[in-house]
Chain A
Amino acid sequence: MYQLIAMYATVFFVFLLALAFAFVYGESKRSGEYSAIQEKGYKIRKFYFLGLIAIMAFATIMTLGRLPYDRNQAEAEGFSEPKVVKVTGIQYAWEMSEERFEVGDKVQFDVTASDVTHGFGLYNEKMELVAQTQAMPEYTNTVYYTFEEPGTYQILCLEYCSTGHHVMVKEIVVEPEGGSSDE
């Protein structure tokens, strides 16, 4: 979902920007007195500035309440007794304390690395990135995810970790709620 919002927002704002530049280019062929242009330009700029601040403040308020790794927030979302899974990245594999999940599982991934920094990227069956954190030696980063759809999920390494980086993939299976399928 955030990917789509990001793509549409980018196209929209870049389009507006291109319009502004095209407009000024078109107007560059006429002449005008600069001090008058400046006076008017500074007035417009005030509104432009306040507009940008408003957009940024709105985005900040809307998003900072949804930090993907906030313990308190995870608890509010029903992670009071999560399924804790220990994940360790090592050149070039993922070690996990548990590999089979069910739909509805609220999972707390405790992610670390035993050699160099890796990136824990959780992809769903459609190969959309749904959650990530860094896998860093000496530290444990915790990320929460609730499996809502069954299927084969994959963990891809998302931080460059040397020449086997792209083979560092692990499949995990999420089964439908309440029972295993034999597929």
Chain B
Amino acid sequence: MNDAIHPLAKKAVIWHLALTALVLILMMIFGVIMLMNQGEMISITPQWFYKIMTAHGTGMVGIAALGGTAILWYFLSKYVKLNPAILIVNLVLFLTGVTMVLIAIFVFDFSDGWTFLYPLPAQSAKMYGAAGAVFFLAGMLILGIGFLLLYMYLAARLTAVYGSLGKALGWDIIFRGKKGYGPPAAVVATAMVIITNSTALLAGATVLAASLVNIINPAITIDPLLAKHLTYAFGHIFANCTIYMAVIAVYEVLSEYTKRPWKANKVFLIAWNCSTLFTLMIYTHHLLMDFAVPKWMLIIGQVFSYANGLPVMVVTAYGALMIVYRSRMKWDFASSLFFLSMFGWVAGAIPAIIDATIVVNHVMHNTKWVPGHFHTYMGMGVVAMIIGFMYYFNKTEGNQQHRGIDTFTITLYFAFFTGLVGSFLYAGGISAPRRWAEHLPQWVLSDQVGAVSGIFIVLAAIIFTARFFAGLRSVGTKVPYNKNSAAG
């Protein structure tokens, strides 16, 4: 029971989580539909496939960001007084943006993918009418503005409390030799996300606005390579930041369960500063196949993509292992998911780092290898963190208890998620392209394995969600917090 958190903010966190849980299931179903179509188990038109693909990509990244925001807000509130109105403004703008994106896709047939590479939206606008592209781009813009406002507010709050964003990132300990520990992990992570994601959102806003202008007045054009840089600076950093927001829960909860402090020592702070810097730079590995990009920039793309694995592998994941080692920790729903989520994050980083190697990228870029690696750290990392937090929230704010079915669901989810990402990575290994509505016979088996795995993942997600909503009923009711007395 955390009294530092404003009651309205708690409500807003519940709305965030409820929305996240429902949208996750829907997006997972979209994923299964795509795999079933590729696996020739059902048949939908290519137009529908690409519409669903656009919704799945946009929706998953968006919902991971929303879930991550709920986690960030909840834990940061323990250290910094926050005004819940801002969180609600973000939610409203998010919903507005999402509604526009859905209208674009399902009413006006927009299907250019969530990467919307310029001049594709303009080209589609010519063929299918401008409404779809305009709704989509404007919806994304509004959604981005919501997050940007949120980060500006958080930047102001951290500056007020800690002096500056640099101090929130522990610069006086790293550079000025100040002794002791830095701010709490939630503060350090928030500062990192503010810096990187604001940059991402500004890059995104630039390319979205430019694309819109171009659709309205085709005489005003942008450079396609510059647009691609901006698009990936936006998309890659934004997707990355979902993890950096959600991981706050891992620090907080594992430290609580093990009764061991997870303090921001110097190495921890250096790692987070490195992540800040590298996350800003490594989107260039999306451009490794654009040889028009200067060679040094591509080499940076490779070298820093490697280096970006280090902070998580050496500090965060290793720290999680150290804190759990011989801790006699209680393994329940939340702790299991947070522990497994660290595995998922690092396991996804491995094929990602391998793919960032230019010679490998040359024969694996835009194959299914790519969704293979990011589904690993999104599905088994970020989403596991968000679901873990849903249970932790219900347990802390209500009286949810771990049951046998939870152990079953966790096993179901992780086992079949391994099957899903395994089928993706394998398909990438045999050169199956990503984003193809129809597949050649030699790729179909991997799609079927993926589709069947996906069905069981959806099943697990439905059980998770049902348990979450059931647990919500006890949240906020003045049930005696003492579990012994509640158990009677």
Residues on A close to B: CB < 8 A?
2-7, 9-10, 13-14, 17-18, 20-21, 24-25, 27-32, 34, 37-38, 41, 45, 48-49, 52-53, 56, 59-60, 63-64, 66-70, 91, 115-117, 119, 121, 123, 127-134, 136-143, 156-166
Q: Which residues of B contact A166 (CB under 8 A)?
A: 46, 433, 436-438
Q: Is the CB of A60 within 8 A of B111?
A: no
Min CB distance B343 to A, Å, is 5
Which residues of B come within 8 Å of A, CB atoms? 46-47, 50, 111-113, 115, 117, 119-120, 123-124, 223-225, 228, 260, 289-292, 295, 298-299, 302-303, 306-307, 309-310, 313-314, 318, 321-329, 331, 339-340, 342-343, 346-347, 350-351, 353-355, 357-360, 362-367, 369, 425-426, 428-431, 433-438, 440, 442
Q: Are B351 and A131 neighbours in the complex by a CB distance under 8 Å?
A: no
- Are the CB atoms of A132 and B362 closer together than 8 Å? yes
B423 to chain A, nearest CB (A): 13
> Are A3's CB and B363's CB within 8 A?
yes
Given contacts A10-B425, A139-B225, contact A163 B46 (CB under 8 A): yes
Contact of B358 among A31, A63, A138, A165 (CB under 8 A): A63
Q: How far is the CB of B137 from chain A (nearest CB, A)?
A: 15
Given the complex, which residues of B lie within 8 Å of A2, measured CB to CB?
359-360, 362-364
Q: Which A residues touch B426, using CB under 8 A?
A: 7
Question: How many residue pairs between the two chains, A and B, have CB atoms under 8 Å in the bound complex?
Answer: 213
**Among B290, B353, B364, B433: residue with most chain A CB under 10 A:** B433
> B306 contacts A60, CB within 8 Å?
yes
Instruction: Specify which chain A residues have a CB less than 8 angstroms from the CB of B354 in the assembled complex.
Output: 6, 9-10
Closest to B336 in A: A25
| Contact status B346-A70, CB under 8 Å | no
**Chain A residues with Cβ under 8 A from B357's Cβ?**
59, 63
Cα-based distance from A88 to B431 in the complex (angstroms): 22
- Which of the residues B46, B328, B355 comes within 8 Å of A164, measured between beta carbons? B46
A-B contact pairs, 20 of them (CB 8 A): A3-B364, A6-B429, A9-B354, A17-B347, A28-B328, A30-B326, A34-B260, A34-B323, A53-B310, A56-B353, A63-B357, A63-B360, A64-B302, A66-B359, A68-B359, A115-B119, A138-B223, A139-B292, A140-B292, A163-B111
CB-defined contacts of A27 to chain B, threshold 8 Å: 325-326
Q: Are B430 and A3 in contact (CB under 8 A)?
A: yes
Structural contact, A14 and B350, CB atoms closer than 8 A: yes
Q: For residue B425, which residues in chain A have a CB less than 8 angstroms away from its CB?
A: 7, 10
**A165: chain B residues within 8 A (beta carbon):** 50, 435-437
Identify B306's interface contact among A4, A56, A121, A129, CB under 8 A: A56
Point out which of A66, A134, A138 has the most chain B C-beta atoms below 10 A from its C-beta.
A134
